[in-house]
Amino acid sequence: MSAHKDVPPASLRLDDFEDESKSANGHAKTTLLPAEPPIEWPTLEGEPPPRMWWIQDWLGPWPTLTSGAGGAGKTRLWQAVATSLATARPYLQAQVKPLKVLSWLCEETRDEVWRNQVAINRHFTLRMENLSNLSIVPRQGLDNTLMAVAYGHPVFTPLLEQLRQQVNDLKVDVLVLDNLAQLFGGNENDRHQATFFVNAIAGIVRDRPFAPVFVGHTARAQGSEYSGSAAWENACRMRWYVGSTLPDQKPQDEDEPVDTDVVYLARRKANYAPKDWMRLKYENGVLVPEGSVDAPAESLFRNDVAESIVLEAMRKLAAVGIFMTDGITSPDYLPKQVMAKGLAAQHSKREICAAMNRLIGHGRLKRDIIGKYANRSAKYGLVIV
């Protein structure tokens, strides 16, 4: 028999393509799995249970994809998220109870994980002995392929069984797999292979709520949110995007330096919640969400003042017939007009831009028709909601 007989059941396994597994008529044997029974409707009485959230509107027991360019901060972010989940410390949102979390970090060493964890512990006021629910496996330099392709078909490797056993032995609630380029050995543009892989990982646990999290890089194209087939997003119920700007935000003016300490986290696909975003900033080696209880009071005060400045500037300029826009190339670009008219009150152009984006994200500003051009086509700009 094949050396891969311990591969977990699936529609296709490496055994199916071995010569010795062929039947007498020369055709490959296929393992027939017992049929999954349909729902028995009479057993479902009353109201269904409420949907479970471990981070309200951000993370629940279903596949979640996190995408972003290399170096955007995805691994650091998820180590902090995993720590907060495992210790019930508030981070992106308040936590209800500690969860069991397992992370496979395929491009990290033990010492790098250690350094990051020291900073995270300091932020959450934790000690190493408080991390009993957090399991991190640094796998730099190891073969991390969970699924490959044989004779044009996706097949699992024995490593998947190792992962399945570890997840179930530890009773893991949240599994973080970082990153897809290491773990997925198929064609990322093939819809069937991508869906096959996500579904297989989700099926590692069938008897309790379970959230597999897939961390992957985006394409190199400017502004890209994706890499490979759209099936990655379609197969996951939630997708987070991590980047130095919001995904549909245009680049800053050339004279505006990029703040390398700022990272945006956007909820770009959410089957059970509206889209949203938040701004995080590196503080002592940890990405800290703006507006959290741990953010400096002075920083929060400046943000509030900047938002008030934007709203007041819009009212003043509208009174004299100047309507502003978030289009960065327009002469009426809001941050440019606020600075040019001397309405910024000691705030930088970047702070005004960030305030504008927060107000848009929170629904206090929106793009709407503000008039018509000479050719009678609609003219759009920002208005206060």
Distance between CA 91 and CA 99 in Å, rounded? 14
Structural domains present in the chain: 64-289 (3.40.50.300), 297-384 (1.10.10)
Question: What's the mean pLDDT in 188-207?
Answer: 92
Distance between CA 60 and CA 272 in Å, rounded? 10
Distance between CA 253 and CA 329 in Å, rounded? 9
Distance between CA 254 and CA 166 in Å, rounded? 49
Instruction: With beta carbons less than 8 A apart as the criterion, state whether 83 and 258 touch.
Output: no
The pLDDT tens digits for 263-278 are: 999 888 888 888 888 8
Residues contacting 141, CB < 8 A, separation 6+: none
Question: What's the mean pLDDT in 68-72?
Answer: 83
State the Cα angle at 288 between 285 and 62, rounded to 5°. Answer: 110
Instruction: With beta carbons less than 8 A apart as the criterion, state whether 108 and 318 touch.
Output: no
Residue 245 is encoded by which pair of tokens? 């700007």
Instruction: With beta carbons less than 8 A apart as the criterion, state whether 272 and 60 touch.
Output: yes
3-state helix, strand, coil in the chain (%, to 5): 30, 20, 50
Distance between CA 15 and CA 28 in Å, rounded? 9
What's the full length of the chain, in residues?
Answer: 385
In three-state secondary structure terms, 262 is strand
Distance between CA 276 and CA 182 in Å, rounded? 29
Question: Which residue in this structure is represented by tokens 């530890």?
Answer: 170
Instruction: With beta carbons less than 8 A apart as the criterion, state whether 58 and 93 touch.
Output: yes
Amino acid making up residue 339 = M
The overall pTM is greater than 0.75 = no
The pLDDT of residue 30 is above 60: no
Quick one: pLDDT band at residue 305, thresholds 50, 70, 90?
Answer: confident
Q: Which residue has the higher pLDDT, 330 or 82?
A: 82
Distance between CA 321 and CA 315 in Å, rounded? 10
In three-state secondary structure terms, 214 is strand
Closest by Cα among 52, 159, 164 to 99: 52
Contacts from 364-369 at CB under 8 Å and sequence distance 24+? 364/307, 364/311, 365/310, 365/314, 367/325, 367/326
| DSSP 8-state code for residue 7 | S
Rg over alpha carbons for the chain, rounded to the nearest Å, is 25
Instruction: With beta carbons less than 8 A apart as the criterion, state whether 58 and 92 touch.
Output: yes
The pLDDT tens digits for 75-134 are: 999 999 999 999 999 898 766 689 999 999 999 999 999 999 999 999 999 999 999 999
Quick one: pLDDT band at residue 295, thresholds 50, 70, 90?
Answer: very low
pLDDT at 131: 97
Q: Which residue has the higher pLDDT, 219 or 109?
A: 109
Instruction: With beta carbons less than 8 A apart as the criterion, state whether 162 and 154 touch.
Output: no
The top-scoring range by mean pLDDT among 216-220, 248-252, 290-294 is 216-220
